[in-house]
Amino acid sequence: MILKKATVLIVDDDPDVLTAVKLLLKTETQEIITEKNPENLNWLLQRNQVDLVLLDMNFNSAINTGNEGIYWLRKIKEWKPNVCVIMITAYGDIDLAVRSLKEGANDFVVKPWHNEKLIETIKDLLDKKEGTSKASKPSGKSSAGTSILGESEVMEDIFHKVNKIAPTDANILILGENGTGKDLMAKAIHERSLRADKPFIKVDVGALTDSLFESELFGHKKGAYTDAREDRMGRFEEAEGGTLFLDEIGNISLQQQAKLLTILQNRQVTRLGTNKAIDINIRLICATNVPLSELANENKFRKDLIYRINTVEINMPPLRRRNEDIVILARHFAKLYASKYLKPSVDFDSAALTKLKSYNFPGNVRELQYTIERAVIMADDHVLRPDDLIFSILETPGETLTEDDSNIPLSAMEKNAILRVIEKHSGNITRAAKELGLTRTALYRRLSKYDI
């Protein structure tokens, strides 16, 4: 981890030490947190994404056994096993400091320390931590096993942001094109939050009609409407204590927006068919492929709702903006699908990698995933070559077809027209259906019919 992006917590009952370290590291790190009382350690670690702790060996505390530092070191490792800890000790306590290494401390410094040496020690520890944790960066897995991976600068910035916001209850809006992994990022945030052991509930609200919207999200009582044959808990209640992920939030109607805003303001839901309000305790994450500038058009989306759902926003970059991650992702998918389809380990020759890196991937990570899955299935060798990599016609439709071309069946013309319109609207089904003069349901039927 780059020191500039790190959060360092200093725990020492000497205010002069706290001031000295804060001044030293102020320009070197992202954030410095100082604390005199180690009793507050758990509270601080739970509410901040701390990367490294500088911990004094002795405090004027009730414990006062001469090895308070060991006690609090054990507590830190119990609460946050992955946090780096550097012990601060006086020369006479070096034996105790060495013992702390056996207890899990990463290093120790002796008072008075050399400033350059302290900074170098912190940098070295964070670099080692980064090297051993690359594989465990924020990731979510879909049923196909897709993971959020990347070493590009833009993804490093996102991982750092997630480390900061995941432990909080801040509402998050995830923006990005189709196929960039917005749903996986939502899952990753949940898994790194303090609600990780509670439910993660996903709802594609963009596909809900006005009549289904309230029943799906808020629930209903038996008899509330014709098909309500039994009481049903809504998704807000299902997510109690955990995270509710509303996908395609940019496609809901103004009427639906008004109802959602009321729930978020009152933190209560009322099932259809009853007047009884139910308190809710959820963390809300929303996602959309609609740009924020377009979302801010009040004729389409309420600004007061944007403020409610967008305490923090995360912009998932298209794959073309993180080209250096293509090889990492391709090898990940090759390993995944070789295992799934019981094939020997698969790799790429240099020409295949060049082909991948030179392609624009309009379908983003999802398109790369399906490209590699298809290649692994069809390959006759354990080395994939350029001819094995066939990019999706969904993302690269051919030239416009016309009814005058008697060699082209009408079904192919319709399929091609649908593909062009969907691409034009960046995968937004609602807008594509509107341009095609179809309902969303009718368009979904055609997508299924043509296996799109």
CATH of the domain at 435: 1.10.10.60
Q: How far apart are the first and last CA of the chain?
A: 42
Q: What is the pLDDT of residue 403?
A: 39
Task: Say yes or no: 68 and 217 in one domain.
Answer: no
Asked if residue 405 is part of any domain, the answer here is no
Given pLDDT bands bounded at 50, 70 and 90, which one contains residue 317? very high
Residues 201 and 235 in one domain: yes
Q: What is the average per-residue pLDDT within 65-75?
A: 78
Q: In which residue are the tokens 């959020």 written?
A: 148
- Considering the domain architecture, whether residues 70 and 91 belong to the same structural domain is answered as yes
3-state secondary structure of 279: strand
- Structural domain including 115 reads 3-133
Q: Give the span between the Cα atoms of 81 and 128, in whole angstroms.
A: 15
In sequence order, the 6+-apart residues with CB closer than 8 A to the CB of 195 are 241, 242, 243, 283
Q: For residue range 154-209, what is the model confidence (pLDDT) as tens digits?
A: 998 899 889 889 999 999 999 999 999 999 999 999 998 989 889 999 999 888 88
Give residue 121's Cα distance to chain centre.
31
Distance (Å, whole) CA 372 – CA 440? 30
Cα separation, 25 vs 30, in Å, equals 9
Residue 94 domain-assigned? yes
Are 176 and 194 contained in the same domain? Answer: yes
Q: Which of residues 331 and 105 earns the better pLDDT score?
A: 331
- From start to end of 380-446, where are the E strands? 383-384
Query: Residue 248: inside a domain, yes or no?
Result: yes
Q: Are residues 424 and 284 in the same domain?
A: no
Helices and strands (H and E) in the chain: how many: 18, 16
| pLDDT-based confidence at residue 408 (cuts at 50, 70, 90) | very low
Distance CA 332, CA 345 (A): 11
The answer on 11 and 83 residing in a single domain is yes
Domain boundary pick from 263, 281, 315: 315
- Assign 326 a pLDDT band (cuts: 50, 70, 90): very high
- Residue 364, domain member (yes or no): yes
Is the pLDDT score of 69 beyond 50?
A: yes
Residues 6 or more apart from 131 whose CB is under 8 A from it? none
pLDDT confidence band for 216 (50 / 70 / 90): confident
Rg (CA), the chain: 27
Q: What is the rounded CA–CA span in Å between residue 312 and residue 288?
A: 14
For 207, phi and psi rounded to 5 degrees?
Answer: -95, 0
In contact, 7 and 122? CB cutoff 8 Å: no
Provide the domain count of the chain: 4
HSE-up of residue 300 (Cα within 13 Å, Cβ side): 12
Residue 411 and residue 6: Cα distance in Å, rounded? Answer: 56
pLDDT single digits (tens) 419-447: 877 877 777 888 787 777 667 777 777 78
**398: in domain:** no
pLDDT at 425: 75
Task: Check whether residue 252 and residue 337 sit in a common domain.
Answer: no
What is the Cα–Cα distance from 302 to 339, expressed in whole angstroms? 47
Long-range contacts, stretch 222-227, CB < 8 angstroms, 24+ apart: 222/273, 223/273, 224/271, 224/272, 224/273, 224/274, 225/272, 225/273
Most confident of 116-125, 288-297, 361-370: 361-370
Residue 284 shares a structural domain with residue 157: yes
Q: Which residue has the higher pLDDT, 121 or 264?
A: 264
Q: Residues near 379 by Cβ (< 8 Å), separated by ≥ 6?
A: 343, 346, 388
Same domain, 194 and 276: yes
Residue 398 has pLDDT above 80, yes or no: no
157 and 293 share a domain?
Answer: yes
Confidence of residue 64 (pLDDT cuts 50, 70, 90): very low
- Residue 402 inside a domain? The answer is no
Q: Is the pLDDT of residue 394 over 70?
A: no
Please identify, among 100, 133, 166, the residue that sits at the C-terminal boundary of a domain: 133
Q: What gap in Å lies between CA 268 and CA 384, rounded to an integer?
A: 54
Instruction: Answer whether residue 397 shows pLDDT above 60.
Output: no
Same-domain pairing of 157 and 214:
yes
* Residue 91 banded pLDDT, cuts 50, 70, 90: low
User: What pTM was estimated for this model as a whole?
Assistant: 0.57
Burial of 292 (0-12, 13-18, 19+ CB in 10 A): middle
Quote the crossing angle between the two packed helices 68-79 and 94-102, to the nearest 10°. Answer: 20
Question: Are 158 and 303 members of one domain?
Answer: yes
Judged by average pLDDT, the poorest of 152-161, 206-215, 366-375 is 206-215
Domain assignment of residue 108, yes or no: yes
CATH of the domain at 91: 3.40.50.2300
Q: For residue 141, name the pLDDT band (cuts at 50, 70, 90).
A: very low
Indicate the residue among 315, 342, 372 that finishes a domain: 315
CATH value at residue 347: 1.10.8.60
* 143-147, 244-248, 350-354, 445-449: segment of lowest average pLDDT: 143-147
Q: What is the pLDDT of residues 229-284, one digit of tens each?
A: 787 888 999 999 999 999 999 989 899 999 999 999 999 998 888 888 999 999 99
pLDDT of 385 > 80? The answer is yes
d(C-alpha 314, C-alpha 260), whole Å: 21
Assess contact for 96 and 70: CB atoms under 8 A. yes
Query: Is the bond preceding 362 in cis, omega lying within 30 degrees of 0?
Result: no
Where would I find the H helices in 153-201?
153-165, 182-191
How confident is the model at residue 228, as a pLDDT? 67
On whether residue 250 sits in a domain, the answer given is: yes
**Letter for the amino acid at 413?**
M
